[in-house]
Amino acid sequence: MMGKAVGDFDAAAAHLADEFGRLQIGRASAALIEDIAIDVYGSKQALKTVASISIPDPRSLLIQPWDKGNLGPIEKGIIAVGLGLNPINDGIVVRINIPPLTEERRAELAKRVRQLGEDAKIAVRNSRQDAHNAFKKMKADNLLTEDDLHGAEKKLQSKVDDANKNIEEMVQKKERDIMTV
């Protein structure tokens, strides 16, 4: 049971890292746009499946579709997602210049980072509660002794503390990245 909870803790941290990768912090990152849904061939597909995404310099992205007919839908999809990015379609590729962040936008992003961190901690707490309930059930079913229950809960709390510390470090690092001009 503890292994599942620890896996959930790791999943919360991995999800947080993924969410952080999607934040527009003034530097080019393929993660910012690669999962944007693009209307092509009668269905929605992730941008990364219909084009290559490269980063020619720290402030721009270059999107080269496999099919030139998808330039328009790619441009529309990027605008529609509302990231504040302005794609430039030159008939061959789509270029995106990443604008530098204003102080106000940095503060908004830092607040968002803290909220994402809190969401990850909530996920950890929920997983801890699920594991705790499973331990109680195992005790009620006489699968655990009182001493085993106490030891398992102590180990679980240690893992929770480690997971929360890791999340807090991730949040602080991302805030530093955002606030660095």
DSSP per residue, 86-139 = -EEE-SS-EEEEPPPPPHHHHHHHHHHHHHHHHHHHHHHHHHHHHHHHHHHHHH
pLDDT at 1 over 80: no
Return d(Cα 50, Cα 44) in angstroms, integer: 10
| Average pLDDT score, the chain | 87
Question: Among 39, 110, 51, which Cα is nearest to 79's?
Answer: 39
pLDDT at 5 over 70: no
Under 8 Å between Cβ of 121 and 164: yes
Q: Which positions ≥6 away from 152 have C-beta within 8 Å?
A: 1, 2, 135, 144
Return d(Cα 101, Cα 84) in angstroms, integer: 11
pLDDT in tens, 65-99: 999 999 999 999 998 887 778 899 999 999 998 87
Confidence class of residue 103 from pLDDT cuts 50, 70 and 90?
A: confident
pLDDT at 58: 84
pLDDT at 88: 92
Under 8 Å between Cβ of 73 and 35: no
2-21+102-179 has CATH 3.40.50.970 classification = no
Average pLDDT value for residue range 138-152: 88
Return d(Cα 99, Cα 97) in angstroms, integer: 6
Amino acid at 26: G
Domain 30-97: CATH class, spelled out: alpha beta
pLDDT in tens, 8-67: 888 888 888 888 876 766 677 788 888 889 999 889 999 999 999 999 988 889 999 999
pLDDT in tens, 156-172: 999 999 999 999 999 99
Average pLDDT value for residue range 98-124: 88
